Amino acid sequence: MPKTTRRLIDPEDLLRIIRVSDPSLAPDGSRVLFTTRTCGERNDQPSQLWLADTSGDRVRRLTAGPRDGSGRFSHDGSAVYFVRSRVKGEPQIAIVPLDGGEAEELTELAPGSIASLKVGPTGTHLAFTWRMTDPDRTAAAATDREQSGASEPPMVIDDPWYRLDGDGYFGGARYGLWLMEVATRKLTCLDRKDNSGGIDFDFSPDGKSIVYTTNRAKRACIQPWREEMRLVDVRNGRTQKIDWLPEGPKSSPVFSPDGRQIAFAGREGREGAYSTDNLELQVADLGKKTVRSLSDHEDECMMSVSIADSADASFASTLAWSSDGKRIWTRIGRNGEGRIVSYAVGRPKLTVHLEGAAEHGLGSFDRAGGKVCLLKSTATKLTEVFVAEVKGTAPLEPRRLTGFNDALLKELKLSKPSSHWVKAADGTKVHTWVMRPPNAKPGKVTPGILEIHGGPHGLYGCGFFHEFQVLAAQGWTVVYSNPRGSKGYGRDHCDAIKGSWGQADWEDIQAVTRFMQEHKGIDRKRIGIMGGSYGGYMTNWAVSHSKDYVAAITDRCVSNLVSMFGSSDFIWPPDAYWPGAVYGDSSDLWEASPVKHFKGVRTPMLIIHSEGDLRCNIEQSEQIHASLVVQNVPCRFVRYPRSSSHGMSRSGPPDLRLHRLGEIIDWWTRYLR
C-alpha cells in the first residue's frame, strides 16, 4: 500500500481535539466512566459522559450533554450519577441507568455551581458541594433588568475574598456541603460555614460519616493555616473538628478501607497549599490521634502540576488507598513526567509504578483493588483512557481503551521534543526541551522561540502542547524549560525564587538562551521570547535586562508587583511570600517589578491580555504598553473581552484561542523571517 503523506499541524486543528478527563472505574472493574469535551458548532464546548469496557471491545456514549460531567458509578454499578447543566449556571444532579433508560434529574437547585459529587458506599446517600448564585446575579435577573430598563445592582463587599479568576465575582456566596437521601431525594445542608471557597470530602467505608476540609476563619483567604478537617455524622448532621491536627493546609482527605485512618495532602505551617514548600502526603490515625508525613523524606510535592493547553489541568491532589490499606497511591510530577507512585503506610517508602516521558493521571480503583484506570498523554499523543492490572508493587502495564484523537493524529507530522540539561552559571542544571520543525533537515538553521511557563510554581511536562506544535510546524525551533521556581525538581529548586523573582530564575533563562545561541540548528541572531502569566513576567524581565531577543510576546503578564497587590484575586499578606508590603516598605516589590527597569527597552513586543483576567489584571499589560509607546518601541496590544479569563489560552472560547494563535504567528512571521 502507498505510504500516507502526513501534513503539518495548523491552528484550526484545535477544533478537532477531544479532551478526555475524569476517569472512574466501575466497582466490578468491568468498565471506565469518563468525560469528553469538544468544540461545538456555535463556539461552545459541549461535554458528555462515555463508557469504555475494560475488556477493550466497546466504547459508547452514555449522555448527550450539552454540559454533563462529574460522573460517578452507583454503589452497585447499575447506574451513574452526574452533574448536568441544561442551562449554563443552573446545574442539577442527575442519574442514568446503564440498562438503557433515560437520564433523570434528581434535584431542583436554584442557579449556582456544583463543585464536586460523591456516592456513599452503601448507596443510600450522595454528597456534593453547592454554591447558590446571588439572585440579583442570575441570567434570569439580567433578563428582567433588560426588559424593565433597570441598572445592574452594585455589589456590596463585606468579605475579604469575593472573586476568583475563571469563577468571576461571587461576593459573599460560599460552597456548602450537602447530603441527598437517594430514596426520598431529601436534601440536607451539613455545613455552610466555609470561607475558603472549596470543600474536599470523603465518605467513611460504612457510610455513616463524612470527613471534609473547611476554613471557617473570616479572613480565610489570608489565613490558610486555619484549614480544618471535620467529621460529620450522616444520620444527625452533627459535626466535630479533628482538633489534634496541626495548623496548616489540608486537602483531598480519603478514608482508609477500615475507616481508622485518613490520608490527605497537607503540611504543617502557615503557608497555603500553593507554596514553594512541598505539599506532603500525610496520614491521620483517628484512634491514636497522631498525624505523620509519608513523603517528607522523599522531597516530592503533591502539587506539582504540569502546564499544557490540550488537557484539563487540576491543582488538586489525587489520593487512593490500596484495598488492603497498606499503600496510598497518587500522582507526582518529577523531571517533567507525571508519574504514578505509591507510599507504603507501615514503613514510608516510595514505589514508582509508572514513569517515562509522558503525563499520567490517576483515576480510581475497582472495589477489589485489582484494576486502576488512568489517563495518559505524550508530546505527540493526546490524552486517552487506559486501564492496568494492579500487582502489588510491580510496575503498571497500561492498556489503552480509547482512541478519540487517533484520526487526527494519523494526519499529522508532529515534532518530537529532545530532552537536555543546561548548566547555569552557578552550576544549577536546568531541564530543557527542544522541538525542531518536523520538516527541518538535520543541520538546517531556523529561528528559535523560547517559551517560559507560568506559575511560577508549576512545570512544563511531557504532555501534548498544541501551541508548541503549531509554532514548530511554522518552521521555528521551540525551546522550553523548567528553571528554578518550577516544581518537580525538589523543594530547594522551587524555593530558590521565593520573594526574589528575576534572580536565580533569570540566571537559568540566560543559560537556556546561551544554549539556544550555541545550538547548531538555531540562528543565534533570530531568537524570540514569550510566556504567559509568570512567563509574561519573565518575558518582560528578559527584554528589560537583555538585548538577545529580536522580538517578544508577553501574555497575561505581571509587570508591577506593587500595583498587582490590590488588583489580583489573591491577596498577599505582608512579609510572607514577598518581603515588605505596598503600604510600608515596598522597595523589594518595586525592584522585582519589570516595568521599573523598562527605560531603554528596544525589543518589539506583542502584548496579549484578557479584560476579564482576575489573576493578573489587565492594568499590568497597560503599564507595559504605555512604557513602550512613550519610548517609541514597536508594539501591538491585543485585548480580549471581559467574558474571557486568565486561562483563555487553555480553556477559553475556541474562536478567541484561534485568534490568539493567529496573532502570535503573525508577530513571529514579521520578526523571525
- According to DSSP, residue 596 is labeled G
The terminus-to-terminus CA distance of the chain in angstroms comes to 39
- Distant-in-sequence, close-in-space partners of 288: CB < 8 Å, separation ≥ 6: none
Judge whether 14 lies within some domain.
no
Query: Which sign does the torsion angle of CA 38, 40, 46, 48 carry?
Result: negative
Strand bridging mode 31-37 / 47-53: antiparallel
- According to DSSP, residue 110 is labeled P
Partners of residue 282 on adjacent β-strands: 264, 293
Q: For residue range 246-277, what is the model confidence (pLDDT) as tens digits?
A: 999 999 999 999 999 999 999 999 999 999 99
Judge whether 548 lies within some domain.
yes
Judge whether 27 lies within some domain.
no
What single-letter amino acid sits at 388?
A
Q: Which residue has the cell 482576575?
A: 614
Residue-level pLDDT at 561: 97
- According to DSSP, residue 406 is labeled H
Q: For residue range 405-458, what is the model confidence (pLDDT) as tens digits?
A: 999 999 999 999 999 999 999 999 999 999 999 999 988 999 999 999 999 999
Percent of the chain with pLDDT over 90: 92
What single-letter amino acid sits at 370?
G
Dist CA 330 CA 474 (whole Å): 38
Judge whether 353 lies within some domain.
no
Residue-level pLDDT at 673: 83
Judge whether 562 lies within some domain.
yes
Closest CA to 502 of 624, 596, 606: 596
Strand bridging mode 201-203 / 209-214: antiparallel
Chain centre distance of CA 590: 29
Q: For residue range 132-187, what is the model confidence (pLDDT) as tens digits?
A: 999 999 999 999 999 999 999 999 999 899 999 999 999 999 999 999 999 999 99
pLDDT band at 56 (very low <50, low <70, confident <90, very high): confident
Q: For residue range 518-573, what is the model confidence (pLDDT) as tens digits?
A: 999 999 999 999 999 999 999 999 999 999 999 999 999 999 999 999 899 998 88
- Distant-in-sequence, close-in-space partners of 469: CB < 8 Å, separation ≥ 6: 9, 414, 415, 435
Average pLDDT over residues 78-98: 96
Helices (H), 395-481: 406-411, 466-473
The CATH code of the domain that includes 462 is 3.40.50.1820
Dist CA 551 CA 573 (whole Å): 36
Chain centre distance of CA 107: 29
Grid coordinates standing for 166? 475563571
CA atoms within 13 A on the CB side of 655: 8
Q: For residue range 456-478, what is the model confidence (pLDDT) as tens digits?
A: 999 999 999 999 999 999 999 99
Dist CA 465 CA 416 (whole Å): 11
The domain of 477 spans: 413-672
Grid coordinates standing for 61? 456514549
User: What b/e sequence results for 489-516 when a residue is b if at least 16 CB atoms lie within 10 Å of its CB, and e otherwise?
Assistant: bebebbbbbbbbbbebbbbbbbbbbbbb
Mean pLDDT of the chain: 96
pLDDT band at 40 (very low <50, low <70, confident <90, very high): confident
Q: For residue range 328-387, what is the model confidence (pLDDT) as tens digits?
A: 999 999 999 999 999 999 887 899 999 999 999 999 999 999 999 999 999 999 999 999
Judge whether 567 lies within some domain.
yes
Dist CA 193 CA 175 (whole Å): 8
Helices (H), 86-205: 139-148
| Length of the chain in terms of residues written | 673
Dist CA 587 CA 71 (whole Å): 50
Domain count within the chain: 1
Residue-level pLDDT at 591: 97
Q: Where are the beta strands (DSSP E) in 571-615?
A: 605-610
Grid coordinates standing for 649? 489560552
Phi and psi angles of residue 511, each rounded to the nearest 5 degrees, phi first:
-65, -40
Judge whether 556 lies within some domain.
yes
pLDDT band at 198 (very low <50, low <70, confident <90, very high): confident
Residue-level pLDDT at 2: 54
Judge whether 449 lies within some domain.
yes
Residue-level pLDDT at 348: 76
Q: What angle do CA 414, 419, 425 make, to 5 degrees?
A: 135
Q: Is pLDDT above 60 for 1?
A: no
Q: Which residue has the cell 485512618?
A: 261
Residue-level pLDDT at 3: 65
Beta strands across the sheet bearing 186-191: 112-119, 125-132, 176-181, 186-191
Q: Is pLDDT above 90 for 609?
A: yes
Residue-level pLDDT at 414: 98
